[in-house]
Structure 1
Amino acid sequence: MSNSFMVRYRAYALLIALLLSALPQLAAARAVRPRDADATRERVDINAGWRFSRFTTNPDSLSYSVLKNWVLPSANGFINGTKHQRPSGTPPGSNVRYVQGDFDDGAWEAVDLPHDWAAKGPFNAPGINGGMGRLPSNGIGWYRKTLTLAGRDLEKTLFLDVDGAMSYSAVWLNGNLVGGWPYGYNSFRLDLTPYAKEGGNQLAIRLENALDSSRWYPGAGIYRNVWLVKVNPVHVRQYGTYVTTPRVSAESATVNLAVEVDNTGSASQQV
């Protein structure tokens, strides 16, 4: 038997022994994995399974001027300020039937996001001034979806991330006006936590586009992705990670990392 064969044999035997000795540790790690998953950030695609209806006349007596004071505080987290404060009292729209869990939306169109309600036409007939053959982007659009949450989800902070919706968005969860975003070309985030419950949660989003609101085709509907984000009360803030390189040379570089952490819980935490 050659020396090289003996060396390979011993190496394989050692590798097998190491793997066998590691099995208890691997089994233990696997056993605690579900618990470790509770500490992670979940970003869930909720694009599928929406109901949609478009109205060319106002079906709900709402408008941005009515909703504005409850929508603008949604920007505070984005601008890192407290310029806008949510008014006291009952927010508008709480009695609108489209935000209620018992409203039957079975006759509404079934859609998946991203969705542009005007893209399928028809084109408007051009006027005497020519125009650009506009698609029917005007009107009021309502979207509805049921979110199912487990009891463990209620221990998290829950955000709704909307990558793009045209325009003047207003969002309700379980009949409560959460907030909104007026501009159609920006993404936005809303905190669903105070309004969430175990089981089925009725999410409703209202959009409104004025007639001839743009010289180009502006888009219509929730035309980008929508996400449900679940994080622990102590979590890295959205857009809260900053990397800079204050000193760079051919030989070396200094990299600085700054991280902002939010605590949405009621108790102080050591980070």
Structure 2
Amino acid sequence: MLTLNSLKIALLLVAFLIAMFWLLGFHALKKYGDSIYANMRAIGPRPVPDQDYQFLENNPRWHKDVFEVEPGIQLHGVVREPENPSPTSPWLLLYHANGRVEFSSFPQFVSDLLDEGWGFAVWTYRGYGPSDGISTKTSLRQDSVRMAERLQQQWHVDAAQVRIYGFSLGTAPATYAAMALSERGSPAAGVVLVATGYRPPFPSSLVYNPLTEVSIRDKITSPILMIHGRNDRSHLLENAVADFTALKKADADLLLVRAGHNPIGLDQVKDRVRKFLESPSSRM
């Protein structure tokens, strides 16, 4: 039979174990939580690579492109060549959002924004679509630059021909790539950032906003167009406005629209993006 003292000791032990479990859980969540969350959303029912590339059969200018970033880690992507490729053909390099990615959805995205004279390229991050591995904040930053390098080296595209487009999660790698190209003295022709303004709950968050760092944003020399939905509940409007104000760039512009987190299908947005892509240095 338990005595009063032994019962107190047992209760203290249970309380101690609960406290330790909570502290360890909080530490793990702080260190890995957002990355785990993002990758769980990304992986979901991942498409089989062969199935995801079937649309290429009816689109002769679209090509599968796979390259290795580390031993055993390959990034999968698709590239659409311009109708009449030339050294001056413009290209759009897309950094996609979080969640499931299907390559077969990109022809519609391209036809909404670009004419036949444009090239287009997108690669999925680690753990997204058919790409190998699991994304981290570090790998996302490194791979964003490798994607830009892949476009330049494999497809012989000069940085001056490239417009970078990032949506939601993709605004982080798009920002990194824009900074890297600027630092090398060959900046992209323009940068479109849609639905930035995220403020991560944990320092290790995969969904991250590098525009909050002066050492990153001040190195970007490309013209920037930011677009944000006034009713965005995940990436708050006031944060996006603060990001834009902090840029302090004469060749940066901010378009606010009546929309939630995903405004890219609005005619107003598509028209503004088209004009920017054609002439990034012109404010409209």
Larger helix fraction of residues: 2
TM tier, shorter chain?
A: under 0.3
Q: TM-score, normalised by structure 2?
A: 0.24
Larger Cα Rg: Structure 1 or Structure 2?
1
Larger strand fraction of residues: 1
Higher relative contact order (CA 8 A, sep 6+): 1
Q: TM-score, normalised by structure 1?
A: 0.25
